[in-house]
Amino acid sequence: MSRSFLGWPAFPQASEREVGNRQLRENVRRATHTIRGKRAVLAAERPDWEQLRDSAAAIKDQVLAGLEEHLLRVEEKVTAAGGTVHWARDAAEANRIVTDLVRATGEREIVKVKSMLTEEIGLDAALEAAGINARETDLAATIVQLGDDLPSHVVVPALHRNRTEIREIFAREMGRHGRPAPEGLTDDPAELAEAARLHLREKFLGAKVAVSGANFVVAETGTLVVVESEGNGRMCLTLADTLISVVGIEKTVPTWQDLEVFLQLLARNATGERMAPYTSTWTGTVDGDGPRDFHLVLVDNGRTRALADPVGRQALRCIRCGACMNTCPVYERTGGHAYGSVYPGPIGAILNPLLKGVDDSQTASLPYASTLCGACNEVCPVRIRFTDVLLDLRAQVADGGQHPVERAALGAVGAVMERPAAWKAAVKGAGLVGPLLPGRTRLPGPLGGWTENRALPDVPRESFRSWWKRNEGERA
């Protein structure tokens, strides 16, 4: 049975479990630091990097401002090119559409190109319940599927696994799902990749139906775009008779020319490459080349909810490059599973509450899964202001009564700051009380939650205000 994040604990509880796992922390740290280094080199190589980001953000804002028009254009162009367009309001509807389409072909085993949206809607489990075996073909997605695991990163879903763990999963599981791993498989990454090549090749050659997502859908031409590295995407998009692409409605870009911006940003920011090895584009169906049947399923599943949020809608600009999680100090320590979603890290901390609302404790905890350091703002290729959205979502959570303590504390601070005399007294008082708390690591009473995962800083004896007055104020 495919695992899911359903019923996952809130971030504080989930992260506590994850940060206790030393192996996981080491794996995540090694991987994120490697990608960060490569990305930094290739971003610095472009003197026009900031101009590319400006364009990408503005194009995506145009998409969101004219979403109805763009989607209708997509529908018109895909249909004219021989494809069939379906619309799904939510996960259940999308899963039903795909299940019915696969059933109509009579096939019981299909192949999939890695797609975060199909993870989001739980498509593999829905197909499984209908007796259809959907085999993942991206190497990382294969590792996750064979290990009965969950993705922990949007670009490298098995980033939390090291080579020893992967070898063990391959040796144990491949034989249960097709061609077994070669005898004497070692943990050399090249050998592991070769094992995946052999295991999946027979599935590609036999598959009649493939399911994909898409990185972009060009409204002007009805063209879908898939960016990948291994060639598993090309296999699925080319060899199957029926191709079903399940795509979020925000993946649209208005014009063909817009791809020159996104294709130059995406791989540089995602994996530190100038272009990913393979980018495939297709428009409907073509006689004698590739699938004879093409279906595009346009999925809402909360995206229009996010679109209605004036601050939060910028999260829909996201092109899933993963740079925000690679650079996030919180993600580096907790890994992806703590976020309880296929979208972890900073984008997960804002996207999940925006898609689902903040009225359950899991999504309500996510805007707090951040130090607000803003490193994600700096690397985002579409200039999402994560910290603005996080603060706005925290306000929404507070207004919803989720965090009465924080609301009360901020209220008290506000009241004190409005009166300079009271503020002066408060900071001076802290300096006097500080030394009386030797070895104290927890704040008392209702503020204790703040120190659950933080060390209480030493309270200086003297306030900055008084230090400034003593040292500089006199000179002035």
Residues 13-72 within binding reach of other proteins (CB under 8 A): 27, 30-31, 34-35, 45-48, 51-52, 54-55, 58-59, 61-62, 64-68, 71-72
Cα–Cα distance for residue pair 207/111, rounded to 1 Å:
6
DSSP code per residue over 3-25? ---TTPPPHHHHHHHHHT-HHHH
Cα–Cα distance for residue pair 360/66, rounded to 1 Å:
31
For other proteins, the binding residues in 362-381 under the rule CB under 8 A are none
Pick the closer one to other proteins by CB: 13 or 285: 285
471 secondary structure, DSSP code: I
Cα–Cα distance for residue pair 221/257, rounded to 1 Å:
11
Sign of CA dihedral 448, 451, 457, 463: negative
User: Which position among 43, 98, 134, 158 is part of the footprint of other proteins (CB under 8 A)?
Assistant: 158
Pick the closer one to other proteins by CB: 53 or 337: 53
Compute, in degrees rounded to 10, the torsion defined by CA atoms 23, 370, 323, 167.
20
Pick the closer one to other proteins by CB: 3 or 163: 163
Q: Which tokens in the block code for residue 246? A: 């399940």
Question: How many residues form the binding site for other proteins (CB under 8 A)?
Answer: 95
For other proteins, the binding residues in 220-249 under the rule CB under 8 A are 221, 223, 229-232, 234-235, 237-239, 249
User: Which position among 10, 116, 127, 156 is part of the footprint of other proteins (CB under 8 A)?
Assistant: 156
Residue 177: phi, psi to the nearest 5?
A: -125, 10
User: Which position among 18, 119, 136, 300 is part of the footprint of other proteins (CB under 8 A)?
Assistant: 300
Min dist. Cβ of residue 118 to other proteins (A): 18
Cα–Cα distance for residue pair 397/128, rounded to 1 Å:
36
Residue 273 interacts with other proteins (CB under 8 A): yes or no? yes
- In the numeric block, the tokens 């490697």 are attached to 34
Min dist. Cβ of residue 255 to other proteins (A): 10
Site string for other proteins, 96-115 (x = CB under 8 A): -x------------------
User: Which position among 8, 87, 423, 450 is part of the footprint of other proteins (CB under 8 A)?
Assistant: 87
Residue 315 interacts with other proteins (CB under 8 A): yes or no? no
User: Which position among 150, 261, 376, 389 is part of the footprint of other proteins (CB under 8 A)?
Assistant: 261
Q: How many CB atoms lie within 10 A of CB 344?
A: 32
Pick the closer one to other proteins by CB: 67 or 376: 67
Q: How many CB atoms lie within 10 A of CB 96?
A: 14
Pick the closer one to other proteins by CB: 64 or 395: 64
Pick the closer one to other proteins by CB: 165 or 406: 165
Min dist. Cβ of residue 182 to other proteins (A): 15
Min dist. Cβ of residue 390 to other proteins (A): 21
Cα–Cα distance for residue pair 471/188, rounded to 1 Å:
61
Cα–Cα distance for residue pair 305/214, rounded to 1 Å:
21
> Which residues on neighbouring strands pair with residue 252, listed in sequence order?
217
